């Protein structure tokens, strides 16, 4: 196993939440770090899938498949999709 990581190490990236006591934050961090790498990865995949479903459900139902994918990319990554990715979307629709 890697080096010990203090629970407040990632305070500026989300592990420490302003409305959570340091004790609860440390407990949450400890529980998360007690999971296997595979379990944490599955958790991350699940959270990404949930975020994707929330985003897709916010789109108007009449969008084309291309436009749904283009807008999904922008919402997920915060920037326009690269032209190469847009071309691949067009080819696969």
Helices 65-77 & 37-57 angle (0-180, nearest 10): 130
| Same domain flag for 47 and 92 | yes
| Same domain flag for 4 and 22 | yes
What is the CA 74 to chain-centroid distance, rounded? 14
| Same domain flag for 49 and 23 | no
**Global pTM value:** 0.67
| Same domain flag for 90 and 71 | yes
Per residue in 57-88, pLDDT tens? 999 999 999 999 999 999 999 999 999 989 99
Give the integer Cα–Cα distance in Å for 49 and 55. Answer: 10
| Same domain flag for 72 and 46 | yes
Give the integer Cα–Cα distance in Å for 29 and 34. Answer: 9
Residue range of the domain that includes 17: 1-34
Q: What is the mean pLDDT of the chain?
A: 84
Indicate the number of domains in the chain: 2
Looking at residue 12, what is its pLDDT? 46
Q: Which residues of 37-56 are buried (b: 16+ CB within 10 A; e: fewer)?
A: eeeeeeeeeeeeeeeeeeee
């Amino acid at each position: 196993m890697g080096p010990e990581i203090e629970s407040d190490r990632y305070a500026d990236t989300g592990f420490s939440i302003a409305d959570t006591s340091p004790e609860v934050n440390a407990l949450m961090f400890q529980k998360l770090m007690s999971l296997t790498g595979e379990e944490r990865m599955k958790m991350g995949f699940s959270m990404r899938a949930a975020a994707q479903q929330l985003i897709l459900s916010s789109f108007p139902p009449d969008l084309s498949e291309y436009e749904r994918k283009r807008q999904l990319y922008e919402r997920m990554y915060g920037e326009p999709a690269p032209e190469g990715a847009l071309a691949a979307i067009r080819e696969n629709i």
